[in-house]
Amino acid sequence: MINVYFAAGQALWPKYEGPLRAALAEAGLQADVGADCPAPDLVDYIVFAPGGEIQDFTPFTRCKAVLNLWAGVERIVTNQTLTQPLCRMVDPALTAGMVEWVLGHSLRHHLGMDRHIINPTHKWDPTCPPIAAERAVTVLGLGALGQACAVALQGIGFKVRGWSRTAKAVAGLETFHGDQGLQSALTGAEIVVLLLPKTPETENILNAESLAWPARGAAILNPGRGHLIDDAALLAALDTGAIGHATLDVFRQEPLPAGHPFWAHPRVTVTPHVAAETRPNSASRVVVENIRRGEAGLPFVHLVDRSLGY
């Protein structure tokens, strides 16, 4: 019998109990899964989310892998007691949700929808935007989510460039990497999408210097991590018109405090961390696939590289 400890928090267990049991049955795995911890030295797999039930992983001496329910692992990867393999969540439904959010808001800014939706003076403005092929979009971050969004943006015609910390080749996509490649990737971009993990190297990647590189009046879309942007620098760039609008889904503090300047700024749209969410049905199948692999002696998928932090 495989022992699976759902340590992602008691509040999530009712949502995941049925999907996890169904996915285990579909995979033909005999497993005891629950949110009540058995003896730690009997646990084979831990399903986890930051803020869950475990701070010290040391007692889980038999555990073969910790399976994170979130795509981001920055709140767990630095835990010195975590010596077991750590796998992040790459969920097809989460990816689909992110692609939809990015496409929707990219098209909103590309087409200038706001001036028609919010038009209190009833101004008749027949100005047409360029077509997508004439609009430069840069995606910062070329992991699973970044690549999916870049490909989708290309699919409707945008001129897309991608940037990552280390070199990555994506078919049909102009890519840049490293500190020197960042300016090349951002220069002239009219829409910038941030889909990077939070690491010491990516924190404040958009700052007073780099916010000057996109085209004047560019739109910033951040469904990645709040720490990727220097908030004060962004507000200053919005005030001068260097950046035309920022649509932000993630923040340094969540929920975003009521008095934060983002709420009242006319060039900021706040969405409440809804760009992508882990869905229990599809996420459970991802978790169970790694359990199946562990039991079969196969390599885990979506394994975190501790040296990179993701």
pLDDT on residue 205: 98
225 is catalytic: yes
* 116 half-sphere exposure, CB direction, 13 A CA radius: 11
Provide the pLDDT confidence category of residue 2 given band limits of 50, 70 and 90: very high
Structure tokens at 79: 């835990």
Mean pLDDT for all residues in the chain: 96
> For the chain, what percent of residues have pLDDT higher than 90?
94
| Residue 197: pLDDT over 90 | yes
Sketch out the chain's domains with CATH numbers.
2-91+278-296 (3.40.50.720), 92-270 (3.40.50.720)
pLDDT on residue 233: 98
267 is catalytic: no
Q: pLDDT of 129-183, one tens digit each? A: 999 999 999 999 999 999 999 999 999 999 999 999 999 999 899 999 999 999 9
pLDDT on residue 309: 86
Average pLDDT over residues 79-103: 96
Catalytic residue among 88, 109, 161, 225: 225
Provide the pLDDT confidence category of residue 127 given band limits of 50, 70 and 90: very high
Provide the pLDDT confidence category of residue 308 given band limits of 50, 70 and 90: confident
DSSP-derived secondary structure letter, 303: B
Q: How far apart are the first and last CA of the chain?
A: 31
pLDDT on residue 52: 87
pLDDT on residue 72: 87
Provide the pLDDT confidence category of residue 51 given band limits of 50, 70 and 90: confident
Cβ neighbours for 134, distance < 8 A, ≥ 6 positions apart: 159
Average pLDDT over residues 68-96: 94
Average pLDDT over residues 290-302: 98
| Residue 63: pLDDT over 90 | yes
Structure tokens at 226: 């709040």
pLDDT on residue 307: 85
Q: How far apart are CA 263 and CA 105, in angstroms?
A: 18
Q: Which of 86, 190, 189 is nearest to 129 (CA)?
A: 190
Provide the pLDDT confidence category of residue 310 given band limits of 50, 70 and 90: confident
**Residue 45 or residue 75, greater confidence:** 45
Catalytic residue among 252, 273, 279, 292: 273
Average pLDDT over residues 253-268: 97
- Give the burial string for 5-44 (b: 16+ CB within 10 Å, else e): bbbbbeebbebbbebbbebbeeeebebebebebeebeebb
Q: pLDDT of 214-234, one tens digit each? A: 999 999 999 999 999 999 999
